[in-house]
Chain A
C-alpha cells in the first residue's frame, strides 16, 4: 500500500519536473526568438552594409510583425515565469528575471525606431526670414523649393542630419528629404 502511494508521488513529481523542464525550454526559445525578431532587421539594414531586395522584404516583415509578436511573447513569458517562480532556487529566480527582462526589452525595442535615435526628427521646425538667416554661410548649400509664390530653403548641413522635414509650402503639404 505505502509503496504504491510512494510510486504515485514519484510519478507525479517526475511529471511535474518534466513539465517544468519544458517550461524552461519554452522560455529559452521565447527569449531567443524575441531577440532574433528585433535584432535581425537592425542587422540587415545596417548603414555601412549593402542591402539586397530580399533582405529588405525580410526586414519589413520583421518590423511589421515584431510589435504584436513580441507582445504575445512577453505575456507568455510572464505566465511561464509566474509558474516557475514558486519553489525555484535564487539562481533560477535570477534567470527568470533576466529572461523576462530580455523578452520585455525586445517588445519595447520592437516599438522603437533606432534610426530616429541616431537622427532626431524635427516635429516642430522653426524658420527664419531669408535676410535674418545668419546661421547659414553664404556659400553653404541649401535645398530650396517654391510653391505658389512661397519660397523655403532647407540648409543641407541640417538636412544631412534630420534627412526628413515635413512642411506646407504655398498650401501644399510636402516633405523635404536629403
Chain B
C-alpha cells in the first residue's frame, strides 16, 4: 500500500512488467518504472524516488470485519468474475507448485515457503508462517528492536508490534482458550487484543506501535532483503 503523491504530484499506476516475479508498475505522469515490493522507482525520470508506505494488514475477512464493521470492501468486477479470471479459494496451495524464476538462488529454505517479513531500519528477518502459527505469540528482537508477532485465532492473520512500553521491553503471552484472541503482558498482566490495544489492567487504553510486515514467499523476500535472517525456532 503506497501513498501516490510524489514531490507534490499525484501519480497513477499501471501494471507494466515483471522483475524476477515481482511486478513493475509504470506511472502515467512521468513514465517511470516502480518495483511493487519496495515502492522504489528503478528506471525513468523519477529513478531513485521512493513511494511512502502506508501501513497495511493481511487479515481474514472475518477478523477485519469484526474490527471495522463500517469499512468498505472492493467488489469483484462482474466481467472478470464471469470470465473466471479471479483466483480460486485454494490458489495459495496451487501457487506452491508454480515454478520460481529468479536470478536469486538462495537455498536456505524452500523458495515458496510463506513468510512474514519484518524490516526494521534495514535489519530484516523472515518468519515462516507455519512456525508462526505453531509458536504465536513470538517475543523476539530484530536489529535491536524488541518485537512481538501474533497470529490471530483465525490462524492466518498476522500482526507485528514493537513490544516496548515506556522504554522497556515487555514479553507477551497468549491467554489460553480466549476467543477472540487475548494477550497478557508479563510486566503488568494487562489484557491486550489483536490490534495491540490494552483492554483492561493497569495499562488499559495503551496502544502498541504496529510494525509493517510483508506476507511474501521466501524467494521474493530474500531477493529484496539479501541480508535477511530466517527465524529459526531451534535457536530461540
Contacts and interface: CB of A to CB of B under 8 A. Distances in A.
A28 to B, nearest CB: 30
Main secondary structure of the interface of A (DSSP, over half): mixed
B73 A176 contact: no
B61 A152 contact: no
Given A56-B19, A137-B89, A160-B91, A113 B59 contact: no
B74 A125 contact: yes
Given A47-B18, A115-B15, A164-B25, A158 B60 contact: no
B86 A138 contact: no
Given A144-B56, A157-B88, A166-B4, A122 B15 contact: no
B32 to A, nearest CB: 9
A57 interface: yes
B14 A136 contact: no
B1 A143 contact: yes
A165 interface: yes
A164 B15 contact: yes
Contacts of B224: none
B60 A64 contact: no
B77 A57 contact: no
A64 B31 contact: yes
Contact count band on B = 35 or more
Given A51-B18, A57-B43, A142 B58 contact: yes
Contacts of B57: 143-145
A121 interface: yes
A45 B62 CA distance: 38
B60 A140 contact: yes
Interface string A140-156: 11111111001111111
A142 to B, nearest CB: 5
A144 B65 CA distance: 10
Given A45-B19, A142-B60, A121 B68 contact: no
Given A50-B101, A139-B60, A158 B86 contact: yes
Contacts, number: 212
Given A115-B15, A164-B15, A177 B75 contact: no
Contacts of B69: 130-131
A116 to B, nearest CB: 6
B144 to A, nearest CB: 28
Interface residues of A, number: 66
Interface in B46-64: 54-62, 64
A50 B105 CA distance: 11
B44 interface: yes
B74 A152 contact: yes
B99 interface: yes
Interface stretch (B5-13, B130-138, B161-169): B5-13
19 contacts: A45-B18, A45-B24, A50-B101, A120-B79, A120-B80, A130-B72, A135-B75, A136-B61, A141-B58, A141-B59, A142-B60, A143-B56, A144-B64, A146-B55, A146-B71, A153-B71, A153-B72, A158-B74, A159-B74
Interface of A: 41, 45-52, 56-57, 59-60, 63-64, 113, 115-116, 119-122, 125-131, 133, 135-147, 150-166, 172-177
Given A121-B14, A160-B91, 8 more contacts: A50-B20, A113-B14, A126-B75, A139-B60, A145-B56, A150-B71, A155-B61, A157-B87
Q: Which 3 A-B pairs have the closest CB atoms?
A: A151-B71, A151-B68, A133-B73
